[in-house]
Amino acid sequence: MPVQRSYYFSFTSLLPIILSIVFISPAIVNAQNREDNLKEEKKQIEEQIVFTNKLLAETSQNKRQVRMAWSYSNKISGSAKGSSTT
């Protein structure tokens, strides 16, 4: 009597594959959402850096203008003091 081959594929052999898909799929979706969130956060940080650099440039320019005005006023007041004593 020949041995009959069984072509029955058991569910238990598919179980690890099914469980892997079930548990890995949400992780992949979550990773994509995290990546999107990080890209958005990076964009916001870059915008803040541009804005901060603009403020620093304006502050530096204002500082130079104040120093020039202060230096000019000191020259005027110094020359006025010098001319009154001669």
pLDDT in tens, 32-44: 888 899 999 999 9
Better-predicted residue by pLDDT, 44 or 10 = 44
**What is the distance, to the nearest Å, from the Cα of residue 24 to the centroid of all Cα atoms in its chain?**
28
Residues 75, 65: Cα–Cα separation, whole Å? 15
pTM of the model as a whole? 0.52
**N-term to C-term CA, the chain:** 137
Residues 14, 8: Cα–Cα separation, whole Å? 12
Q: How confident is the model at residue 13 (pLDDT cuts 50, 70, 90)?
A: confident
Instruction: Name the one residue in this structure whose structure tokens are 């916001």.
Output: 44
What pLDDT is recorded for position 9?
63
Better-predicted residue by pLDDT, 79 or 24 = 24
What pLDDT is recorded for position 60?
92
Phi, then psi, of 41 in degrees rounded to 5: -65, -40
